Structure 1
Amino acid sequence: MFIEQVYKYQHDFWRYLIGVIAVVFGIIIGQIPLTIVLLKEAGFEVMNMTETDMMQALDSNLFLFLMLLTYAVGLGFLFFIVKKLHEQPLIALTTSRKKIDWSRFWFAFGLVAIFIILTTVGDYISNPDDFLWNFKLKPFLILLVISVVLIPVQTSFEEYFFRGYLMQGIGVMVKNRWVPLVVSSVIFGGLHFFNPEVTKLGNTIMIYYIGTGFMLGIMALMDEGLELSLGFHAANNLLTALIVTADWTAFQTHSILKDVSEPSAGWDVLIPVLVVYPIYLIIFAKKYHWNNWKERLFGKAERPELLNVSEES
């Protein structure tokens, strides 16, 4: 199974500690190009800049490219650590299946893409005054290339690190499934605390980020792999970057539309977590015949031979 298979590889606590430090170091290394460009444009004032200030100091396409480059470097460090320090193949970080099931990735990607497109079109038709037409061909084509190439890298880093590396590492340490689900989800959501959306909407938006972490973690545990969460996350960020931007979001892009409405952290935060996400989980559960939810989410994560002995007794 997705967590239990890690027992076949090098899974000592100190290896995961070094691994996390190495990945954080990789992220810092990846930020060097962005820092150099910002220093050139804004001098040492960059030290006092918020993320919004940084985005406004550069062309949005350039900022997006440099920001996403950070995750590409981080992903490279993560894959290196997994292969060399843990002697674990990439497929074992991705799935418990014998090979990566790309049909799962594309199903999740398509489902989320269709939902985002339909809801955005519906919102635009219902509230046209909330949007400005932001489309400019050349900047949009550059955005399209950057987004298609690098946004899946960014989302893959987050999935492989939080739902893969941390979930597997914590799972074999505590020998259960619910603790890695909770810890990885809270850390994932908590790291979004510094996003511009939190400044604009307040701490209530953290319900959405942490709730998203829980949903992606549940998908990984129930499906015994990352394929669904990889597709879900890639579609969400990619379509968001291409279709709608706003002055207060983490992705300020040359998108098709610009949202100029005054946002609020009310039902807009709760509906995705309490209504939309459960619907996604029901769809995935029906399609992939998920069962035994209690065991998969709250069961033990012991060595496979120990699990077999326990089942026989």
Structure 2
Amino acid sequence: MYIEQAYKGLSEGWRYILGILGVLFVWQIIAAIPLIAALALKDGGMSAMISGDIGRMSLVLGSNLFLFLMLLTFAIALISIFVFVKYLHKQSLTSLTTSRKKVDFKRVWFAFFLWSAISVGFIFLDIWLSPEDYEFNFKPVPFIVLAIVAVFMIPLQTSMEEYFMRGYMMQGLGTMTKNKWFPLVFTSLLFGLLHIMNPEVEKLGYGILVFYIGTGFFLGIITLMDEGLELALGFHAANNLTTALLVTADWTAFQTDSLYRDISDPVLGWDILVPVLVVFPILLILFSKKYKWTNWKEKLAGKVVSREEFLNTEKEEIVQH
């Protein structure tokens, strides 16, 4: 009962509306002040920011400083989520994270290392198959700085997205609508559409949103089926971290001093569907076997019980133990 964990705090609808608006304000306004200030102090910085040109902003500040300040906005927003959950909802971080008694970090690490291995494998396979599309970009000092920034900050960025989308919004929408399919569909579509301003969309077209929305559904499904955020937290961190460290391009959201640069002229093809239609389903089967998932229909599209029913069930379990 992951969504029903919201009942362990104050779960009135107005609290979630206020909290979501509050997080968005902190994320988009307050947390952006350091980045805006840094750009304002550099020639051409403000014009780059106004145009929304990530490449120019990265060039003006330097890729590592820009990456740090961009990721800092997510870190500050993550803190704001925890603050709203604790003081507005009187809910514990554990119940926001999982339906288990405590957070299962083994699940986080399993998903992290599994997807890291798969991602690294796919990246180097593509480099081997199409070496003309890549340029070795290793520069020791910038790469070490990148690695430090990425290892410490990217997990905060991905955790913010997971706690906000699959955690806070999933629980809030579920308790308000009293079903599971709506928060799954809504947060998955929103997750995909929030990437619409990424330079990849401008370069490849709106078809790339199929990948982002598909990823949103995958993360939402594993959250509901596994009754917690642990697998999604590990997967998302691995995905962004391996990308930032291994490959960059002039047309991606993460423009870093990575090991390789993709110098090809990108084209949207059928390969964008491979993760969504092949890799993610295989991962779902693997996770389901490992963690013995059952009752898919109920967990993904069933009803969310009332607060009274949930609390009564909790009391019965306490008495039985």
Return the TM-score normalized by structure 2.
Answer: 0.94
> Within 5 A, what are the aligned runs for 1:94-173?
94-173=97-176
User: Letter of the aligned partner of 2:210 in structure 1?
Assistant: I
Q: How do 1:211-250 residues align onto structure 2 when only pairs under 5 Å count?
A: 211-250=214-253
2:33 maps to 32
Quote the Cα distance in structure 1 between the aligned partners of 2:306 and 2:107. 27
Higher mean C-alpha displacement, 1-10 vs 103-112: 1-10
For 1:129 and 1:298, how far apart are their aligned partners in 2? 46
Structure 1 counterpart of 2:144, one-letter code? L
Q: What pairs with 1:1-313 in structure 2 (closer than 5 Å)?
A: 1-27=1-27, 28-41=29-42, 42=44, 44-45=46-47, 46-303=49-306, 306=309
d(CA) in 2 for partners of 1:197, 1:98: 40
- Partner amino acid for 2:6? V
Any idea what SS the aligned residue of 1:125 has? helix
What is the alpha-carbon distance in structure 1 between the residues aligned to residue 296 and residue 31 of structure 2? 39
Shift of residue 171, structure 1, vs aligned partner: 0.1
Distance 1:143 1:100, change over 3 A: same
Kept in 1: contact 2:7–2:311 (CA 8 A): no
Deviation of residue 241 (structure 1)? 0.3
Alignment partners' CA distance in 2, 1:58 and 1:221: 40
Larger mean CA deviation between 272-281 and 260-269 belongs to 260-269
Letter in 2 for 1:32: I
Q: 1:128 to 1:44 in 2, by over 3 A?
A: closer
Whole-angstrom distance in 2 between the partners of 1:99 and 1:308: 18
Structure 1: which amino acid aligns with 2:162?
E
What's the TM-score, normalizing by structure 1?
Answer: 0.96
Other structure's SS at 2:240 match: helix
Q: RMSD of the TM alignment (CA)? A: 1.5
Identify which range, 14-23 or 156-165, moves more after superposition. 14-23
* CA shift for structure 1 position 167: 0.3
Structure 2 CA distance, aligned partners of 1:43 and 1:308? 53
The offset of 1:6, in angstroms, is: 1.3
Secondary structure of residue in 2 paired with 1:258: strand
Indicate if the aligned counterparts of 2:143 and 2:257 stay in contact, CA closer than 8 A.
yes
Cα distance 1:156–1:307, how it changes in 2: closer, same or farther (>3 A)?
Answer: closer
Q: Distance in 1 between matches of 2:276 and 2:52?
A: 32
**TM-fit CA distance, 1:53:** 2.5
Identity %: 55
Letter in 1 for 2:224: L
User: Aligned partners of 1:198 and 1:220: how far apart in 2?
Assistant: 27
User: Partner letter of residue 35 of structure 1?
Assistant: I
CA contact (8 A) 2:85 2:91 kept: yes
Deviations for 1:177-229, whole angstroms, at most 9, x for unmatched residues?
A: 00000011111111100000000000000001111000000000000000000
Greater shift after overlay, 166-175 or 6-15? Answer: 6-15
Counterpart CA distance in 2 for 1:239 and 1:50 is 23
Contact in 1 for aligned 2:4/2:310 (Cα 8 Å)? no
Contact 2:115 2:235 in 1 (8 A): yes
Deviation at 1:305, TM superposition (A): 5.1
Name whichever of 200-209 and 25-34 sits farther off: 25-34
For structure 1, the residue ranges without an aligned partner over 5 or more in a row are: none
How far did residue 268 of structure 1 move?
Answer: 2.2
1:64 is paired with a residue whose SS is helix
Distance across 2 between alignment mates of 1:88 and 1:308: 14
State the Cα deviation string for residues 21-79 of structure 1 (Å, max 9, x = none): 11011112111111111111125424234233222322100100000000011001110
For 1:265 and 1:95, the matched residues in 2 are separated by: 37
Aligned residues: 310
Q: Quote the Cα distance in structure 2 between the aligned partners of 1:309 and 1:14.
A: 24
Q: Distance in 2 between matches of 1:308 and 1:98?
A: 15
Question: Following the alignment from structure 1 to structure 2, what is the Cα–Cα distance between the partners of residues 202 and 58?
Answer: 28
